Structure 1
């Protein structure tokens, strides 16, 4: 028999030895299971953090791309407007280089006349001139 702890003593026979071995194996198994679960949870937490980080980057990249696309669309619209204005101004420049057009424009807008000409003003035409 084993040493007595107080009034209770442990029996030393095959059954108790087998039971002690099984209990020790169970403790070791439980410890390994807890260790493996802890590792698995740690790995899962790391992957979850990685996935969240990458997901955030993807969402922010898509948001930036959408903003850039809207800016591109606005700039294209502005470019088209400026091209049309440029075309109109180019046509005006060509017209201003034409002497007959310039002469007509000066006569209509500024009422210039050639020496010896008389300008007559009509009532229906006067309304258009006020604009």
Structure 2
């Protein structure tokens, strides 16, 4: 039905009709140009947002890694602080001559004059372990001294 109607319509061949047709063609070309320009701008904006989003994601991952490292460092710091406090207490105890004498009698079976020491099996094992550590330290000291003397 539409084809029949289009065949019945004829275009006027005057200056006004030509100007209107030219105006419509110009508007159509401008509309196509605007659509292409908007598509291009949209594509560029999409690329920029994609790049920025990717950078944000990478930064977020880096922050998470640094947060984990920070938590581990804080935990290590707390542990070291506790160890330092314990060692400071031990240093304070080691400055006390009575404590050092008691420690020497306990670990190395030293005794006061007229005192008899009866070691228990646990103390014997502890004394053997301490003796092995001392022996190893002496061997390490002698071996490092020997290598130093050999190299000179």
TM-score higher than 0.5: yes
Please state how far the C-alpha of 1:48 moved relative to its aligned partner. Answer: 0.9
- Deviating beyond 6 angstroms after TM superposition, the runs of 4 or more aligned structure 1 residues are none
Higher relative contact order (CA 8 A, sep 6+): 2
Q: Which residue of 2 aligns with 1:86?
A: 84
Secondary structure at the counterpart of residue 35 of structure 1? helix
* TM-score normalised according to structure 2 size: 0.67
Would you say how many aligned residue pairs link Structure 1 and Structure 2? 115
Give the aligned partner of residue 16 of structure 1.
Answer: 13
Kindly report the root-mean-square deviation, in angstroms, between the aligned alpha carbons of the 2 structures: 1.9
Structure 2 unaligned segments of length 5 or more: list them. 1-10, 127-152
Structure 1: 5+ residue runs without aligned partners? 1-13
Q: What displacement does 1:115 show? A: 3.8
* Cα distance in 1 for residues equivalent to 2:73 and 2:118: 50
C-alpha separation in 2, matches of 1:127 and 1:23 = 111
Match of 1:127 among 122, 125, 131: 122
Higher share of residues assigned helix: 2
Which whole-Å deviations, capped at 9, do the CAs of 1:78-131 have from their partners, x for residues lacking one? Answer: 00000001011111111111111111111111111234433234xxx3235424
What TM-score, normalized to structure 1? 0.77
C-alpha separation in 2, matches of 1:53 and 1:62:
14
